[in-house]
Amino acid sequence: MQRARAPIPLSARAVLNVDLAALRANWARLNEVSGRAECAGVIKADAYGLGLAPIARALTSEGCKTFFVATVDEGRAAREVQPGATIYVLDGLLPGAEANYAGFDLRPALSSLAEVRDWAAYSRARGRKLAAALHIDTGINRLGMPEGEVEQLAAEPDLLATFETTLIMSHLACADEPANPMNALQRDRFNILRAKLPPAPASLSNSGGTFLGPSFHFDVVRPGIALYGGRAHEGKPNPMRTVVRLAARILQVHEVAPGATIGYGAIFKVQRPSRIATIACGYADGFLRALSVATGKAGPVGYIGDYPVPIVGRVSMDNITVDVTDVPEELTRRGGWVEVMGERVTVDDLTDRAGTIGYELLSRLGPRVHRVYEGA
């Protein structure tokens, strides 16, 4: 039985609807695509801005048992809501931070020989073989042990025996481009480097890698953006369901004469008698300033019901202005809603216009945006 949705506070200026049923369906699809590999869930950055606790609970209810976060604090938050889950911390081990893992059963992704030595020493001090992942670099040159350190580590079996290696992982640099030869190069490099280490489950693929086929799956896949409805591969249809819908309230409607300008910088000049609605969402809420629209430029479009309303002028900190001239006046009253992201204008539609990626827009959605969870 579905629980009744909590009422939206009268003070809510913008609302993010998160469809947990769509989220679960996306995980189920990724789980099917991953074949024999376990499908984990990446819930770092507050589950890409959607709310770590409700997202983790929804994924667990669908069968997800392993989670990846970026920070120890995120790991602790995940542990509070998922006492039985396996949780990896991608930041690895900061100097002297070993005790922060105590009591939370978190597993650092060790990205250097120095981190390995620190974790081994901590395991000895605790008198038990603590679990961790070994993160090796295969070409992204961001986090991970380079080949020289992998060989040094392989030459010290006593060091490796001090703790439990539960995962050997790396990260694809170009998985969103299926034809990029870097993908196969990294996969092959991963096989060479992990063969130097004792056998352990392996993980290479993010969202894009999950769709690259069985040779990229190994034992665990780690989808992130695809869980939340974002596009995993550039230039291809997106098979994932829409998870998020962002709508903002109308604060005021202005009658504007031809020749008048809208907003900061006066970058948009009205060409006809118009009605311009100011809505309660801006870059402080996560709506990108790069989505501003100057005169003569095609910009993103919001919706009031089935009526499209073009964004006009500059996106400011707290407000967006939209042209509601062609919408019936009874639908554009103060307090009404304008949808600026959803199924008709997706997160990828917006970020394509802004010259960025869905990861950035979702993770920037601010705390002023009221969250509503559906399909729990």
Q: Residues with catalytic annotation?
A: 44, 264
- Is there a contact between 169 and 194 (Cβ–Cβ < 8 Å)? no
Cα separation, 300 vs 215, whole angstroms:
39
Cα separation, 206 vs 226, whole angstroms:
9
Tokens of 163: 């703790």
Task: Tally the C-alpha atoms within 13 A of residue 263's C-alpha that lie toward its C-beta.
Answer: 25
Cα separation, 120 vs 306, whole angstroms:
60
Closest-CA residue to 231 (of 347, 135, 152): 347
- Is there a contact between 358 and 231 (Cβ–Cβ < 8 Å)? yes
Q: Is 334 exposed, middle or buried (0-12, 13-18, 19+ CB in 10 A)?
A: exposed
Amino acid at 90: L
Cα 25 to Cα 206, 227, 240: the distances in Å are 18, 9, 8
